Structure 1
């Protein structure tokens, strides 16, 4: 595979694209504070004519993510639209038509607003929707092993609203819904994934951006198995942000492109560009 190219700024490559699909957590904020340089870079790209879509595996609808960004004082001038895993999840829930068990925190309940879905306890559930851990500050996926074994014995299908396995919250690594879905799949459970790296969220982002296809898109992200794998499957060029969730794995900010390319290639991944942080 070709070695990814180190770039100094988004502005160096953005003019070649009509749209930027940019990850949120780990790229534009860390869950505690915004990354002001990323905000400035995306704002400049928009002013230069790029359509910026924030593409996130958040299990919330896009309006919930918008409120979170507002709370971090992230400028609405930095993006045109937000597409979330939660948006795609709502469609999957509507198509399921079964009584659902919700596994996740109370803060995710706005995901279900306006849906006709019926939410029930474990005994009556015919399907499962996972938005996260009930308490990601104290729990780990291991706490859910008994539940998953019971669900698998009944062969209940699962919808995963956030395929991310882990994210950084400040300096702390926390588990996401994807970790529970991963463990359910390992048991042989059936899982429908709503977000990156799966196709439905990219189709929605393409529709929102109004582009003809992936050749017109630069996908920006820090997650190898979500952002980069998703960009590769979709067919867009990928810009890997090194300071995100894999910052301890990728060999440091000064890694040679050939070394990084070999690391990615070993996982059947490829990136067109890389940089320490989005600037």
Structure 2
């Protein structure tokens, strides 16, 4: 499961550093007016760059860019390329100054390409079906709610939070660095959180530092956490929770071969 994520992560790293410049067959479409939205869904082999700024949207790439679907309904913008053969190297650039949720599915890629904040109490980030959501910039929000399933990937190199909520299933991979007051983690079925895997291609330094962490792992899941004050670890069926530092209080319930192990580097 874990190895299957390697090409996905390496490809998004390359995409983040690539410069999408126009060539003779490339085109660019600017959409001056889009119905208001504060939620985003990315799907079907499309790469989206989301940046803070006054609302603006453009699509670049080659081939028939009109085949890229942009639909706003009930405040949700859905972006998809149902037939990948009609357009290539599709990149959608979005400027928006207040998002509530972003999600990615079916090999979609979403890059939060500038410092990111929102007036919403909670920012929901969801990735499914081999999709990837990532950022090398600072994300500042009260509660970050991350949901992953089916070999999806999330990587955030710097967050500033009151609460980090994380739910992971089915061979997913997630890295989050920065600070939070509280962290609540639920993981199952061979997924990995902040496990330093050089083969993944993601530049990772150390786990999110939280004052208090509650973590539950099942069925071979593995997590590395950093709790300065309180750590509550529950695990079963061969799962492992690694923890950094010396929490003032540790409570654990590890059964059926699960382990709680100190790991400082």
Same fold (TM over 0.5): no
Greater strand share, structure number: 2
Higher helix share: 1
Between 1 and 2, higher relative CO (CA 8 Å, sep ≥ 6) is seen in 1
TM-score w.r.t. structure 2 length? 0.29
